[in-house]
Amino acid sequence: MSGSGGAGANRGVSPATQSRGEVRSMHYVTDAAGLSRAAGELWGSPLIAVDTEAAGYHRYHDRICLVQVSDRSRNYLIDTLALHALDGVAPLLEDPAVETVFHDADYDLRLLARDFGLRVRNLFDTKLAAQLLGEPAFGLGALVEKYLGVQLDKKHQRADWAQRPLPPDLLAYAVEDTRHLPALRDRLLAELERLGRRHWAEEEFRLRENAPREPAAADGEGFLRLKNTRDLTPRQLAVLRELHEWREGMARRRDVAPFRIAGNDVIVAIARALPHDRATLAATPGVPATIAERYGPDFLAAIATGQALPNDQLPTRRRGPARPLPDPEFERLVERLKHARDRTADELALDRGFLMPRQQLEDVARSGARTPEELRAVPDLRKWQVEALGSSLLHVLARATAR
């Protein structure tokens, strides 16, 4: 397929898809010349829609494999495995004069920052907009169907985007994630303005733009975060650590997701049972026979290493900070704030937890705020939350003080 030819020239797009008129202009960009051409054609667009496809579900080395960019008439699929860069397009995403539309932007923003050092400006997030409108279903498919009357096919949600060549049906599928976003943004924005909530959305968008994007550092304790391991002994945890490290190494060498080697439940079951030979390994509940057969020697070697560790080298869980003693008066105050939150959320037709989660209610209870200014000073509280809910919260706090 050429770097940026018209829809009819794109060899990777099925003729059947194009004949239905579903994609007026789709360009698959695989070389520097095509990327330069795409950037030139997009330059001057006041609004672009963006999505990313990564390989984390299938591959060990997660990376962006495809970036979809659409304006109101053209759609580009940028093969980042072929290009390793977003030259020319990156400045558009970082230009505060260009509105950039995502659906559920957080994951995409983290990936773009990690892989390309990008910091998106002038964000519009259709998921956040829908939540601020009180939409009960805010997935892209539900919103596109409700507002645009289009049903999206989500059959490729678990596709391996690192495969090459990408088949035509995957390319056609990928376009659907961005080509409807400009029109959806228009409809949601009109509703936000009608309800007087546009400035609520703008505040949330700016907070998302400026959120920290640094990846979490590996601490070597991923095995301690697996489910159903709280009751394991230090010796069993030592074996689990060895199994976890073996699986990570195998997945890294093969570039496959670790669970495709052996699921978390499998290595936890082995660490719990501590089988001593291939027969007891094969009989371990929760360990499929095919996995026991394929990796039996590796499992047994990891078990032996963990079993041989001296007691003073066994892993232990770090104790967290001691929980504060129950404070009945504080709990009653939080409950009163919660009831006030619930009444307001129902009046605004907003999800209660979205309007203000319990942690924020607890922070408000501790703040002793008496004025809207003091309420706005509570860490992480939004101005729009104070506008929507502040008077009710302050009324509860004032009554608590008067008692």
pLDDT at 195 over 80: yes
What token pair was written down for 277?
Answer: 């030979």
Ranges 47-56, 87-96, 295-304, 324-333: which has the least confidence: 324-333
pLDDT tens readout for residues 313-345: 999 887 767 677 788 999 999 999 999 999 999
Q: What is the pLDDT of residue 56?
A: 76
pLDDT at 4 over 60: no
In total, the chain counts a number of residues equal to 403
CA distance 72 to 260: 40
Q: What is the pLDDT of residue 114?
A: 92
- Classify residue 379 as exposed, middle or buried by CB count within 10 Å of its CB (0-12, 13-18, 19+): exposed
Report the share of the chain in percent with pLDDT over 90: 80
Distance between alpha carbon 391 and the CA centroid of its chain, in Å? 33
For residue 15, whether the previous peptide bond is cis, meaning omega lies within 30 degrees of 0, is no
Q: What is the pLDDT of residue 247?
A: 96
Average pLDDT over every residue of 344-357: 98
pLDDT at 106 over 60: yes
Average pLDDT over every residue of 293-299: 95
Average pLDDT over every residue of 58-84: 93
pLDDT at 12 over 60: no
* CATH number given to 222-313: 1.10.150.80
CA distance 393 to 327: 20
pLDDT at 307 over 90: yes
Q: What is the pLDDT of residue 216?
A: 64
pTM of the model: 0.84
Q: What is the pLDDT of residue 17?
A: 35
CA distance 99 to 108: 16
Average pLDDT over every residue of 192-212: 96
Q: What is the pLDDT of residue 219?
A: 67
- Spatial contact of 177 and 122, defined as CB atoms under 8 Å apart: no
Of the CA atoms within 13 Å of residue 109, those in its CB half-sphere come to 25
Q: Give the pLDDT band of residue 15 (cuts 50, 70, 90).
A: very low
pLDDT at 7 over 60: no
Residues 6+ away with beta carbon under 8 Å from 325: none
Q: What is the pLDDT of residue 200?
A: 98
Average pLDDT over every residue of 360-378: 95
Q: List beta partners, residue 157.
A: none
DSSP state, residue 152: P
Domain 328-402 has what CATH class? mainly alpha
Residues 6+ away with beta carbon under 8 Å from 119: 94, 113, 209, 213
Q: What is the pLDDT of residue 367?
A: 94
Give the residue extent of every domain in the chain.
7-209, 222-313, 328-402
Report the share of the chain in percent with pLDDT over 70: 92
Q: What angle do CA 372, 377, 381 make, to 5 degrees?
A: 90
- Spatial contact of 128 and 203, defined as CB atoms under 8 Å apart: no
Average pLDDT over every residue of 300-318: 93
Q: Give the pLDDT band of residue 159 (cuts 50, 70, 90).
A: confident
Residue 376 has a CB neighbour count (10 Å cut-off) of 15
Indicate if 328-402 has the same CATH topology as 222-313.
Answer: yes
Q: What is the pLDDT of residue 217?
A: 64
Higher pLDDT, 374 or 11: 374
* CATH number given to 7-209: 3.30.420.10
Average pLDDT over every residue of 371-381: 95
pLDDT tens readout for residues 217-259: 666 789 999 999 999 999 999 999 999 999 999 999 998 889 9
